[in-house]
Each structure stands twice: as structure tokens, then as C-alpha cells.
Structure 1
């Protein structure tokens, strides 16, 4: 075989090897994508299954039926919304930001009676902040009434610390927020610093647990768990649409 023939044979062999390698890489890429899709399907399916299971286990509740929350709107409104929440939960913060304006408007229009029920879900994982915040909320509710407590509730979410640094919300900052909401510093400082309503938080948490609440935020619309939405914004928008 001439040198030119040998060179051509080597070039052809190299081309065949490159083509085979490309086919293997394409196969591997397809299998990888298929594997990811399968895993995502399992995750989504599992999430849906868990959500449906929780939905079946949650006990019906209507706004105004608990001692451990604050309400807005008219109790004779045609719809009732209950929102179980933890002041540290970032999704609760997102829901609050996405839904507050609509819920306040709908409550003012007499279309819905809303109750916010804070409790402690996250302290075992992230420290005392959920207890401190819920205790401060209960203290403000007791000392200054529901209107001020609702404003304080809103301010806690507007200034929500991260799960990575919950202690960024100091006692002094919490007192400032309570005063900004309309509470008297003399009424709330000592109680905030000593977590005076820890028992209230324990009872609120027990009530939520007994009701089958295992995650936050959990929304009950007319006594039934409301889960219509792929994102928190979808959830807020679809809830408002149901109430209009």
C-alpha cells in the first residue's frame, strides 16, 4: 500500500472514531436529559402527592374561630380565608407581599373575612426567632388591639430576616416596629425582651399541629386547603380571583 493510501486509511479511521465518539456523547447526553426529566417527574409527583395528602389531613377552619390570630374584614362576608404562617418562613413573606393589597381591598369591600394565624414551625431548625416574633405579635395584640397587631404583623414581614441570619432582628428593632405600628414602648419593650407570650406561641402551635398543619404558608379558603398555583404569586393571584 502506498504512503498516500495509508494516510487516507488513517484519516478515514480517525474520522470513524470521531463519529463513533460523537454518537456516544449524544447517547450519553440524551440519557442524562432523560434521567433528569424522570427525576423531576418523580419530585413533582411526590410533591403533589404530599400536598394532596396534607390537604386531606388538614381540618376545616373558618376565619375568626381561633384565639391565636388577627382578623380583617366582616365576619358575615361570603368567603373566609385562614392563613397559617411562620414569621421566619420566606414563602410566607412572599405570600404576604403578593396578597396583602388584594386581601385588604376585598375585606374592605365585604367579600372576605381573613384571619392570619402565626405559629412556630421553624424554631427547631433556625433558632428562636419564630417564637420571639409570634410572642411579640401576641403581646401587641393583647396590649394594643387587632388593628395595631395587624400593622405590626405586616411590618414584621416587610422587615423579615433571612433563615441564615434570623438574629438580625434584634429586640430593639422589634420594639421599634411595634411602636411604628402604634403600640406604646412602655407596653411592649419588657415583654418583647423577655418573650413574655411564649405560652401563647406554644398553644398556637399546638392548635395548628392538631389541625394537621405541617407547612407554611397554608391557606384555607372557605374551610378547604387552597393550593391553586405553581408559584406563590400564582397562588396569591388565583386566591384573589376566587374571592372577586
Structure 2
């Protein structure tokens, strides 16, 4: 009787210890998950990426043109075509700093491949590898833009265009999705244009003031006229 009672007591103690250890282990896992979720994502370590805003910056002018784009967005393509030459001139003559925010907004429009986030990640990878390659890379993605609702470009194609633009060391960053978490954070921080019910691309600001194109995209009316 005494031996049986002793064995039951030892068993109860062992079970209690196991339960305590399990609870502590679960607590540690929950703590680490919460900590990881609350910590900011790693930003690209590149001089052309603004560490405060997340924008990829081209040029060094005192005035700013800020664009929020999605490489799957069908409206962003004609906007890029309409603005590209003027933006290039304003960058070259030192008038503006172009601030590009690549968004992962239309992931649900690429048949599960999340092309918007993958291409935005690729843009950051290119900017990190070679800042001078970013603007040509952006141009290549719009010139070869997949139709909305398709699978989009695959990672090998993104690497090909990155290398064509001059970012020869961006391949592993692109295929590993190194900055996908950072891209997700940028979407959460994207501003909403006044009068809109939600976020939309393209969204443009000139000198931090929202610009609403009227009757199509016109570089003189939308950009130049709003410069100081």
C-alpha cells in the first residue's frame, strides 16, 4: 500500500513537471512569434532606398515626385509611358528626386503566384544590388508587363530583366524573396488618396501633395505644373 501510494505520488510529480515544462515551452514559442511579428521587417541595405519611407529614390533634386505602383496594375503601365520621359528629364537636370514605392497590392490577380509581391521584392533587390539599374528595371517590367489575371513573370524572368538592367548580383535575393516581408509592410503604410475609399495604384504625389490626373495621364499637367 505504502509503495503504491509512493509510486502514485512520484507519478503525479513527474506529470506535473511535464505539464509545467510544456506550458513554459508553449509560452516561449508564443513570445518568440509575437516578438517576430512585432519587429519591423529587414529593409534593403541600399543607399537608394530611403530607410524611413521605404521609397526607392532616383535622382537628388530638392523637389519630389512620389509614385505608388504595382507591376501587375494595368493602369500603372500607361501612366509610366506618359510620365517616363518627363521624369527622366527632371531627374537628369537635378530638379526632382523620384520616389518609387513598389506595392504588392494585386497578388490576388496572378493565379496564386503573388506576382505583385514578387516583382516588388525584385525591385528592392535590384535597388540594393545596383541603384543605377532600378529605373531601367522598372521600365523593362512595364514594357513586358503580364496581363492582369495571368500568372505573371516567373522568378527566372525577373532575374533576366534584373541582369539586363545591370543588377547582376540580385538573383538570389529575387528567388529567395528576401524582402517580401518588407513589401507587405510597405502596403500597410501606403496612404489613401483623398476621395478614395481604399488604396489604389497608381497613386502619385508631387512635393507631398496628392495629384489626381484629369482625363488621362499628362506629364505637364500632372507633374510639371505642380512643381515649385
Normalised TM-score (structure 1): 0.64
Aligned with residue 134 of structure 1, among 120, 123, 135: 120
Correspondence for 2:192? 212
Correspondence for 2:222? 239
Aligned with residue 84 of structure 2, among 100, 110, 130: 100
Correspondence for 1:32? none
Q: Pairwise CA RMSD of aligned residues?
A: 2.2
- Superposed counterparts of 1:109-128, under 5 Å: 109-126=93-110, 127=112, 128=114
Aligned with residue 171 of structure 1, among 139, 149, 155: 155
Normalised TM-score (structure 2): 0.68
- C-alpha contact (below 8 Å) 2:67/2:101 kept by paired residues: yes
Q: Flag as ranges the 4+ runs of structure 1 deviating above 4 A.
A: 63-67
- C-alpha contact (below 8 Å) 2:61/2:95 kept by paired residues: no
Aligned with residue 54 of structure 2, among 61, 68, 75: 68
Aligned with residue 206 of structure 2, among 207, 215, 221: 221
With a CA cutoff of 8 Å and minimum separation of 6, indicate the structure with the bigger relative contact order.
1
Q: How many residues align?
A: 172
The residue matched to 2:178 in structure 1 has which SS? coil
Q: Does 1:84 pair with 2:64?
A: no
Correspondence for 1:160? 145
* Structure 1 runs not aligned, ≥5 long: 1-62
> Would the alpha carbon gap of residues 73 and 141 (structure 1) be closer, same or farther in structure 2, given more than 3 Å must change?
closer
Higher normalized helix content (fraction of residues): 1
- C-alpha contact (below 8 Å) 2:65/2:206 kept by paired residues: yes
Deviation at 1:206, TM superposition (A): 1.8
